[in-house]
Amino acid sequence: MRRVVITGLGLVTPVGTGVEYVWKQLLEGKSGIGPVEGFDISDLPSKIAGSPPVGNAAEGGFNADEWMAPKDQRKNDRFIVYGMAAADQAIMDAGWAPQDEDSLERTGVMIGSGIGGLETIYEGALTVKERGPRKLSPFFIPAVLINLVSGQVSIKYGFKGPNHSVVTACSTGAHAIGDAARLIMMDDADVMIAGGAEAAISRIGLAGFCASRALSTGYNDTPNKASRPWDKGRDGFVMGEGSGVLVLEEYEHAKKRGAKIYGEVVGYGLSGDAYHVTAPPEDGNGGYRAMRAALKRAGISAEDIDYINAHGTSTPLGDIIELGAVKQLFGESVNRVKMSSTKSAIGHLLGAAGAVEAIFCILALRDGVVPPTLNLDDPAPEAEGVDLVPHEPKEWKVRYALSNSFGFGGTNASLILSSAS
Amino acid sequence: MSDVAERVKKIVVEHLGVEESKVTEDASFIDDLGADSLDTVELVMAFEEEFGCEIPDDAAEKIVTVKDAINFIQENT
């Protein structure tokens, strides 16, 4: 089987833009959660979220003009701009800018989103209702379609290989990486640009997740305390937005061109809950089977895993169910694994989460340090016996990292990443 | 240059992101100013908005150059 390595990374997150800057913020325990700005929230019970701080990329900020010409921004929802920004970073990091036809045809793109251009759809609906269909932009549809990040990236760089997109709610980013890796393994491509992008922090997005009773509402006055996975005081997730994109590459291809190799995608497992639209089953069986399948694919056992980047969204039910599934799978070796949720710092980036968190796993492998779970002041009793890395990062040699993503609809994905040796 | 011509050119510069000097009256939106077919639909909508007129689809199809737009607007507003 062809091996798949990671040769480029790109990030747009609520703690900043740019991989090294974001990682530094994360290890310093910075939170990217703040009050929602830019639209009316007076009648919404959740008033906080994590948006990428505005500023120039050189200072770790997000400035849309640096990534897309203003005239083109009007033709794309914000999630596409985020995705393009992360893809640009990853492609530059990988140094992969082929000009020959064969290389272009062997490079594909698989960047997904959980919801796509939600805010643009909302505004478009208002336009049609209030001003009539003739006033709707001809770019309305291509501005909102989820696969248009993949489309725009391919058009910008001329990548003519598989052009695909994943839509599996909060598992999107992880599925995109796993599925893109398989396209390389199956020899459909040598290089895949893979990840997720999301921009659902809008009046309708916040209202929707509030309506499904999924969001934190008790920390509106102390936003950076709101995302607190496994803490007794947790009361729902906090919306975040941004993008994570990776360059995946066939191992020999990367070696031949002397590319910097961050790590390898060694395991990928998928499962469905077949249970409920928003809640996981109490026994965590779906998550358990996704992790078990990833271990089997990697040809390793649970005790080989050094770090778990949990789905850990800070919801009362989900956090405990994931813990239970991990305990069941790991048995006694759960005592030595480190498990943290970086959503405590950046919130839940929905369809981008799995890709952003896979990048954090890669950086943990590279630097021998695991990022902390913020706000874990008073752990739930079920956390007994598991090191959830509260408050401070920990130096820890990571040979294999596991990243979990679970989505609405009961869709689960687990990735196992290792240093390529 | 008439007021209409100035306003038309300003819209073209903003929407297509081209330099003002390139927006001559003979310039074709697609051949000279880099527009695609969707851009031209958006341009026509912007003209309608700016001048408070309606440009039917069959008339819009005949608006190929900057001058075509100026003439249509001057004759129909």
Residues A176-214 pLDDT 10s: 999 999 999 999 999 999 999 999 999 999 999 999 999
What is chain A's alpha carbon radius of gyration, rounded to the nearest angstrom? 20
Rounded Cα distance between A383 and A377, Å, is: 12
Alpha-carbon distance B2 to nearest alpha carbon in chain A (angstroms):
26
Which residues touch A64 (CB under 8 Å, ≥6 apart)?
A70, A73, A78, A81, A85
> Does B34 reach chain A within 8 Å, measured CB to CB?
no
Which residues touch A219 (CB under 8 Å, ≥6 apart)?
A48, A225, A226, A235
The mean pLDDT value for A394-421 works out to 96
Other CB atoms within a 10 A radius of the CB of residue A293 amount to: 18
Question: What pLDDT is attached to residue A6?
Answer: 98
Residues A335-374 pLDDT 10s: 999 999 999 999 999 999 999 999 999 999 999 999 999 9
Angle, CA A57 vertex, CA A55 and CA A59 arms, to 5° = 70
Q: Which residue of B has its CA nearest to A141?
A: B38
Is B45–A134 a contact, with Cβ atoms under 8 angstroms apart? yes
What is the percent of chain A with per-residue pLDDT over 90, rounded to a whole number?
99
Alpha-carbon distance A266 to nearest alpha carbon in chain B (angstroms):
44
Residues A212-227 pLDDT 10s: 999 999 999 999 999 9
Task: Please identify which residue in the block is written with the tokens 């305390």.
Answer: A225
Question: What pLDDT is attached to residue B77?
Answer: 85
Question: What pLDDT is attached to residue A420?
Answer: 78
Mean pLDDT of chain A: 97
Burial A392-403 (b: 16+ CB within 10 A, else e): ebbebebebbbb
The mean pLDDT value for A114-143 works out to 97
Picking from A318, A333, A317, A320, the residue whose alpha carbon sits closest to that of residue A402 is: A333
Phi first, then psi, for residue A94 (nearest 5°) are -80, -15
ipTM passes above 0.90? no
Between positions 48 and 77 of A, the ones with CB within 8 A of B are 69-72
Is residue A417 scored above 70 in pLDDT? yes
Give me the residues paired with residue A418 across strands. A264, A400
Is residue A421 scored above 80 in pLDDT? no
Reported confidence tier of residue B1, pLDDT bands at 50, 70, 90: low
pTM over 0.80? The answer is yes
Residues B12-62 pLDDT 10s: 999 999 999 999 999 999 999 999 999 999 999 999 999 999 999 999 999
A170 is an active site residue: yes
Which of the residues A170, A175, A210, A253 is marked catalytic? Answer: A170
Alpha-carbon distance A311 to nearest alpha carbon in chain B (angstroms):
41
CA A80 centroid distance within chain:
15
Q: Which chain B residues are within 8 Å of A69, Cβ to Cβ?
A: 17
Candidates A65, A68, A71: best to mutate against B (most CBs of B within 10 A) is A71
Question: What pLDDT is attached to residue B2?
Answer: 74
Residues A146-168 pLDDT 10s: 999 999 999 999 999 999 999 99
